[in-house]
Structure 1
């Protein structure tokens, strides 16, 4: 096993395709899309990922992904970023465990703002 192998990566990859209802009464849910891809300058972690929180009508409220460039980003730069309502900001990917923790922290904050938690 490589010393730089992220031990939390398997946990993240195992969430691929999962949809979890986080608010049965109000209809909020999260979805995970996580696949391995060849390492590139845009995706240096070898992952294509999208972790999202959706509201009752399906609208995306929160998203962490690396599916597209953000703002004035140049070709070849990492595409990691996060969405919170209509705001998009770069995200500094560290590892799978931190990504999951950061995602759930923002999900909890949004659900509290909406009076769900």
Structure 2
């Protein structure tokens, strides 16, 4: 790979290679990945449809990064009739989905695994 190629490498190939992969952790936690290239659109301008999730021993989702459906981008009392909607978002157990600003596949994976590490430390797995 040339220097030029590595500077342009946003992790797309690696991201796509994770499709249908899973990682097992101690205490029954596991992460799974669903990743596909799609035609860029208003909903998915980056050209990926994805679901990255962490589950507990009961198979309950603890954390999810995905773009399967739209969520409200605005928060607070000012959001009224024209709520911006975004597809990229984060689901955390017991909380409402929050928007996620997708920049590159590498950054998405970095953010996901940082959250996974935080949760697994809290659960005494790491």
Output the TM-score relative to the length of structure 1. 0.87
| Farther off after superposition, 49-58 or 71-80 | 71-80
CA distance in 2, matches of 1:76, 1:13: 28
Larger radius of gyration: 2
Q: Could you list the runs of 4 or more consecutive aligned residues of structure 1 that deviate by over 6 angstroms after TM superposition?
A: 72-76
Counterpart of 2:99?
90
**Which has the larger displacement, 27-36 or 64-73?**
64-73
Q: How many residues align?
A: 114
* Residue 112 of structure 2 corresponds to residue 103 of structure 1: yes
Match of 1:61 in 2: 62
Which residues of structure 2 form unaligned runs of 5+? 75-81
State how 1:18-57 maps to structure 2 within 5 Å: 18-23=21-26, 26-57=27-58
Contact 1:41/1:78 (<8 A) preserved: no
Structure 1: gaps of 5 or more residues:
none
Q: RMSD in angstroms over aligned alpha carbons?
A: 2.4
Distance change >3 Å, CA 67–CA 86, structure 1 → 2? same
Tell me the SS of whatever aligns to 1:62: strand
Given that 1:53 and 1:60 are in contact with CA atoms closer than 8 Å, whether structure 2 keeps it comes out as yes
- The farther-off stretch of 82-91 and 30-39 is 82-91
